[in-house]
């Protein structure tokens, strides 16, 4: 059986089992709280593995190894920035956010910020939800596009058919089981991912050491022979240019500080403080192992194929796996990477649906709704959003969708990280400041990237600085409103 056929068979079996597992978890969803936030009852290990799978997916298995393959040691700064952000989030933010969301009975990311800042609750709920729904809606479309492209590359399936297959994988269990199904399918993804990122480098290092005729027989030798740009931490740059290169990589740190709603929702859904500590330990250990392994896979690729041996650097992970493992095992590990990528859409989809259903549509009701109605509405909104996102992926220009997605990490991640940090750690921070910070971060990101300045200094860093400064000034110069924060419905 040829390699491509083996990968196809393994992938079909893997995705089939994943769908069944997600539907099984969905049987435990009885109300809108179960659907939106897993009843706030997740064990720490499940929340941690889901958060890591959602936060990394194709980045850890395709993007970072590809970057390490293309840039050598410079990739260390990106890895350090991400690891520092993730560790900080789990050590200092996760348990605080969990406790506060629980005390406020918050059912979504924006719901938490709005309830915490009662002096501007309605405005925060509306503006925050609209920003998240708009950009994450296109983010879902981009995941469909990415899934279609990957399936086309591997199996020569038409890109449009590939997009449809991607949607058919994730939509059934996401609509049925909501956040709970998404979390527990993520757990499977995280386990396969970490196996690939630990076992792959270990076997790869032994393989290049024992196989003659390769470009290099070790990682240090590979980096040295590839040239100064690969063996330097700054791609051979010095002075200000070196500082920009380091900051560009490390700037990923700022988006992990509570500002990615799809990740923060995992913190909010943890059962209790004890489970939050377990989640912290699992999340940090997973991160250290995964990022070290991802870098090594890229550098092993240099030893195997040379620095110019692959047409697309982001396919270094599949290329390495197929070279060092038997086809069937390589197919399983590659499938885990692909499935993690195309299923990232489920987290984005359920978050967008929750924001729209609970904060925009649900709040317009003037009468008390039964749980049956709220659950039915949540599922309907999720299904409709999925269909519209797929249609947008079919009809919208690809560059438009990816352009909008390009604003997410800075405009959403860096901006909302400032809001979450001030909310958790600064008692004077109030609703008006939170609202102005949200708007400032989004507008600044659009202007900074649109002007081309992002090529000079990354918007991930500059948006964090601009939003942080504005949030500070508004808090100091404008007194808190008279409306108190609310602790319950």
Give mean pLDDT, residues 361-376: 70
Is pLDDT at 488 greater than 50 in this prediction? no
Measured distance CA(7)–CA(334) in Å, rounded: 8
Task: Give per-residue pLDDT as tens, 285-322.
Answer: 999 999 999 999 999 999 999 999 998 888 899 899 98
Instruction: Measure the CA angle with vertex 347, ends 344 and 349; round to 5°.
Output: 105
Task: Give per-residue pLDDT as tens, 203-215.
Answer: 999 999 999 999 9
Measured distance CA(386)–CA(39) in Å, rounded: 23
Query: What pLDDT score does 240 carry?
Result: 66
Contacting residues for 39 by C-beta, under 8 A, at least 6 apart: 31, 33, 180
> What's the length of the chain?
489
Task: Give per-residue pLDDT as tens, 237-278.
Answer: 666 677 777 877 788 899 899 999 999 999 999 999 999 999
Measured distance CA(391)–CA(405) in Å, rounded: 17
Residue spans per domain, the chain = 3-364+380-406
Query: What pLDDT score does 427 carry?
Result: 92
Could you tell me the CATH superfamily of domain 3-364+380-406?
A: Sodium/glucose cotransporter (1.20.1730.10)
Query: What pLDDT score does 333 carry?
Result: 83
Lowest mean pLDDT among 52-56, 277-281, 367-371, 374-378: 367-371
Mean pLDDT of the chain: 88
Task: Give per-residue pLDDT as tens, 99-124.
Answer: 999 999 998 999 999 999 988 999 99
Residue 347 is encoded by which pair of tokens? 């987290």
Residue 54 is encoded by which pair of tokens? 């959602």
Cα–Cα distances in angstroms (integers) from residue 432 to residues 118, 123, 355, 363, in the given order: 10, 9, 20, 20
Helix (H, G, I), strand (E, B) or coil at 426: coil
CB 132 within 8 A of CB 352: yes
Task: Give per-residue pLDDT as tens, 321-331.
Answer: 989 998 888 88
- Looking at the chain, the whole-number percentage of residues with pLDDT higher than 90 is 58
């Amino acid at each position: 059986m040829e390699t491509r056929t083996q990968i196809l068979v393994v992938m079909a079996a893997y995705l089939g089992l994943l769908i069944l597992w997600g539907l099984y978890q969905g049987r435990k969803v009885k109300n809108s709280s179960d659907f939106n936030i897993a009843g706030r009852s997740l064990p720490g290990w499940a929340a941690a593995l889901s958060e890591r799978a959602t936060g990394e997916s194709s980045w850890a298995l395709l993007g970072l190894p590809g970057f390490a393959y293309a840039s050598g040691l410079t990739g260390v700064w990106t890895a350090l920035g991400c690891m520092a952000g993730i560790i900080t989030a789990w050590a200092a933010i996760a348990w605080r956010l969990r406790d506060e969301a629980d005390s406020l009975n918050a059912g979504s990311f924006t719901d938490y910020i709005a309830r915490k800042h009662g002096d501007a609750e309605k405005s925060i709920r509306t503006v925050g939800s609209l920003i998240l729904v708009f950009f994450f809606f296109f983010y879902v479309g981009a995941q469909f596009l990415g899934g279609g492209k990957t399936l086309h590359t591997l199996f020569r399936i038409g890109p449009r058919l590939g997009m449809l297959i991607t949607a058919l994988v994730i939509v059934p269990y996401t609509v049925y089981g909501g956040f709970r199904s998404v979390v527990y399918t993520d757990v499977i993804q995280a386990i396969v991912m970490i196996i690939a990122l630990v076992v792959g480098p270990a076997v790869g290092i032994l393989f290049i050491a024992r196989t003659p005729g390769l470009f290099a027989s070790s990682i240090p030798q590979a980096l040295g022979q590839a040239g100064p740009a690969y063996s330097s931490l700054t791609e051979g740059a010095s002075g200000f240019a070196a500082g920009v290169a380091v900051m560009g990589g490390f700037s990923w740190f700022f988006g992990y500080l509570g500002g990615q709603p799809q990740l923060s929702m995992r913190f909010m859904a943890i059962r209790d403080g004890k489970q939050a500590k377990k989640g912290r330990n699992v999340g940090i250990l997973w991160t250290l192992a995964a990022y070290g392994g991802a870098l090594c896979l890229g550098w092993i690729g240099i030893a195997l194929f040379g620095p110019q041996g692959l047409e697309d650097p982001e396919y270094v992970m599949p290329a390495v796996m197929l070279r060092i493992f038997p086809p069937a095992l390589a197919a399983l590990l590659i499938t885990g990477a692909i499935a993690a990528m195309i299923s990232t859409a489920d987290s984005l989809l359920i978050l967008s649906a929750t924001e729209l259903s609970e904060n925009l549509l649900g709040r317009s009701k003037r009468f008390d709704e039964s749980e049956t109605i709220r659950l039915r509405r949540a599922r309907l909104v999720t299904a409709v959003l999925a269909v519209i996102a797929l249609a947008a992926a079919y009809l919208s220009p690809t560059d438009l969708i990816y352009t909008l997605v390009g604003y997410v990490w800075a405009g959403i991640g860096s901006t909302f990280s400032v809001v979450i940090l001030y909310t958790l750690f600064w008692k004077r921070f109030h609703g008006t400041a939170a609202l102005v910070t949200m708007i400032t971060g989004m507008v600044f990101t659009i202007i900074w990237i649109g002007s081309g300045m992002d090529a000079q200094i990354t918007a991930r860093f500059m948006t964090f600085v601009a939003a942080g400064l504005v949030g500070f000034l508004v808090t100091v110069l404008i007194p808190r409103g008279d409306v108190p924060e609310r602790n319950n419905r």
